[in-house]
Amino acid sequence: MRGRAVVVSALGITQILAWGSSYYLLAVLAQPIQQDTGWPLAWIVGGLSLGLLVAGLISPRVGRAIEVHGGRPVLAGSAVLLALGQLGLALAPGLPVYVLAWVIMGLGMGAGLYDAAFATLGRLYGQSARQTITALTLFGGFASTVCWPLSAFLVDLLGWRGTCLVYAGIQLVVALPIYLCLMPRAGQVPSEPKGEIVPPGTATARAPKPAMPIFLLLAAVITIGSMISATVSVHLFTILQAQGITLATAVALGTLIGPSQVGARAIEMLVGRYHHPIWTKLASALAVALGLGALWAGFPIVAVTLVFYGAGIGLASIARGTLPLSLFGAHGYAVLMGRLAMPSLIAQAVTPSLGALLAEVLGAHGLLGVLAGVAALNLLLVVTLLGYTGHTGATTRQI
């Protein structure tokens, strides 16, 4: 089997390309598409929401496919689907074809973004996959940094349709060969007992607890975190401008979030081996709640609030992959990731529009207050999860 550094680097490159040519695509292309076609902007941007919805709906099947066949064929299929979707966007003569192309893109996103990549690493390396998952998120943090400037350059050079064609080619010429040539075939996952929570070394210390409540709490905190980040990513500049900040300054402040994510992930990579991933999730939820709460309360140094928020969502990506692995083990991990991804991706598809409605009714500052309250609720749920498992190192078996 190829070395882990090769596998993580291969997945890291393809994650940058997958995120940049799908999830982050319309941040640059939406306006050029609208100016060229005259299609309603809401429909153009709605394509991404539809894609995320499709990705969420298929994620349980993706998880099962990775569990049975390994990640290599599934990820290779994602590259083909993303390429077909990009081709459909480039050639779309009208909105129906454009929308259909996003359905295909959604299939590719469901089979190729973080959840599928995490499931692949868990399938390959079992309980020892934690460091590889953390390392992979470092690559993913550069997706917008790499692909937003690339998309802007390509739009100026080739137009939005030419940009989509280039991304289709990149998926077929770069990502697909990487998956086929550098991703190993899945080995056997070490067998682990199923059933209930049994803290290592303390099996008789207390009665084991059923795993389903743990799963539901975990799904809730991951989904709520996704709702918050999806809403903030769309409405951040509006929220900051409502604080009396100019658009140019808001954009400059927004650039702090990306480096904060990467910085927090780098720190976690150095110290993560010394603590259970539930503490990573707790730190993530606390940082997001502090950042949004302080911004809503009018903390004078806005940059600090955004650094806290960015660090929190950066850690959330790591916990999304490592916490289920530590709680439920490697047996069935890919299936579990597919089940956890479904509500999270559907929430990401729906909440930006819900946020726009709340901003219209409550104002941008009111929307921020709701987000801060939801972040506080998520922190409470993480604390509940921590208390319910009694977690200083307990291992939860498969549900």
CA distance 168 to 74: 18
Amino acid at 114: Y
Residue 115 burial (CB < 10 Å; 0-12/13-18/19+)? Answer: buried
SS (H, E, C) the chain: CCCHHHHHHHHHHHHHHHHHCCCCHHHHHHHHHHHHHCCCHHHHHHHHHHHHHHHHHHHHHHHHHHHHHCHHHHHHHHHHHHHHHHHHHHHCCCHHHHHHHHHHHHHHHHHHCHHHHHHHHHHHHHHHHHHHHHHHHHHHCCHHHHHHHHHHHHHHHHHHHHHHHHHHHHHHHHHHHHHHHHCCCCCCCCCCCECEECCCCCCCCCCCCECHHHHHHHHHHHHHHHHHHHHHHHHHHHHHHHCCCCHHHHHHHHCCHHHHHHHHHHHHHHHHHHCCHHHHHHHHHHHHHHHHHHHHHCCCCHHHHHHHHHHHHHHHHHHHHHHHHHHHCCCCHHHHHHHHHHHHHHHHHHHHHHHHHHHHHHCHHHHHHHHHHHHHHHHHHHHHHHHHHCCCCCCECEC
For the segment 341-392, what is each residue's pLDDT rounded down to a tens digit? 899 889 888 888 888 888 888 888 899 999 999 999 999 999 998 887 765 4
The reply to whether 171 and 228 lie within a common domain is no
CATH classification of the domain holding 157: 1.20.1250.20
| Maximum mean pLDDT: which of 87-91, 253-257, 259-263 | 87-91
193 occurs within a structural domain: no
Residue 192 lies in a domain: no
Whether residue 195 lies inside any domain: the answer is: no
pLDDT tens digits, residue range 295-313? 999 888 889 999 999 999 9
Q: Are residues 101 and 27 in the same domain?
A: yes
Total Cβ atoms within 10 A of residue 75: 28
- Are 328 and 381 found together in one domain? yes
Residue 203 is assigned to a structural domain of this protein: no
The per-residue pLDDT for range 102-115, each reduced to its tens digit, is 999 999 999 999 88
Query: Which structure tokens are listed for 389?
Result: 């498992």
336/141: higher pLDDT? 336
Same domain, 239 and 326: yes
104 sits in the region (left: phi over 0; alpha: psi -120 to 50; else beta) called alpha
As a whole number, mean pLDDT of residues 166-172 equals 96
Tokens of 264: 């927090």
* Residues 177, 239 share a domain: no
Residue 60 Cα distances to 107, 340, 344, angstroms: 12, 8, 12
pLDDT tens-digit readout, 38-81: 998 888 888 988 999 999 999 999 999 998 888 899 999 999 99
Q: Write down which residue in 166, 182, 198 finishes a domain.
A: 182
Same domain, 166 and 258: no
Looking at 165, 182, 199, the residue that finishes a domain is 182
| 115: region left, alpha or beta (phi > 0 left; psi from -120 to 50 alpha) | alpha
Query: What angle, 0 to 180 degrees and rounded to 10, lies between the N-to-C axes of helices 130-140 and 257-271?
Result: 160
More confident residue, 251 or 333: 333
Same-domain pairing of 60 and 146: yes
Q: Supply the range of the domain harboring residue 56.
A: 4-182
Residue 136: inside a domain: yes
Q: What count of other Cβ atoms lies within 10 Å of the Cβ of residue 203?
A: 9
Q: Is residue 353 assigned to a domain? A: yes
Is the pLDDT at 202 greater than 80? The verdict is no
- Number of separate domains in the chain: 2
Percent of residues, the chain, with pLDDT higher than 90: 40
Percent of the chain, pLDDT > 70? 90
pLDDT, residue 3, reads: 81
Residue 109 and residue 46 share a domain: yes
**pLDDT beyond 60 at 208:** no
pLDDT for position 33? 92
- Which of 120-124, 139-143, 342-346 comes out lowest in average pLDDT? 139-143
171 and 68 within one domain: yes
Residue 202 lies in a domain: no
Task: Indicate whether 170 pLDDT > 70.
Answer: yes
CB 334 within 8 A of CB 66: yes
The pLDDT of residue 122 is 87
Confidence tier at 169 by pLDDT (50, 70, 90): very high
The model carries a pTM of: 0.82
- 221 and 136 assigned to the same domain: no
**Domain annotation covers residue 378:** yes
CB 382 within 8 A of CB 279: no
Query: Which among 167, 182, 197 is the end of a domain?
Result: 182
pLDDT for the residue 95:
93
Residues 345, 296 share a domain: yes
Q: Is the pLDDT of residue 197 over 80?
A: no
Among residues 303, 327, 121, the alpha carbon closest in space to that of 222 is found at 327
Here the tokens at position 214 are 């743990």
Tokens of 39: 């299609």
Q: Tell me: do 306 and 176 sit in the same domain.
A: no
Q: Provide the pLDDT confidence category of residue 89 given band limits of 50, 70 and 90.
A: very high
Q: What is the mean pLDDT of residues 82-96?
A: 95
Closest to 14 in 3D by CA, of 145, 185, 176, 138: 176
Give the pLDDT score at 241. Answer: 84
On whether the CB atoms of residues 160 and 168 are closer than 8 A, the answer is no
pLDDT in tens, 310-324: 999 989 988 888 888
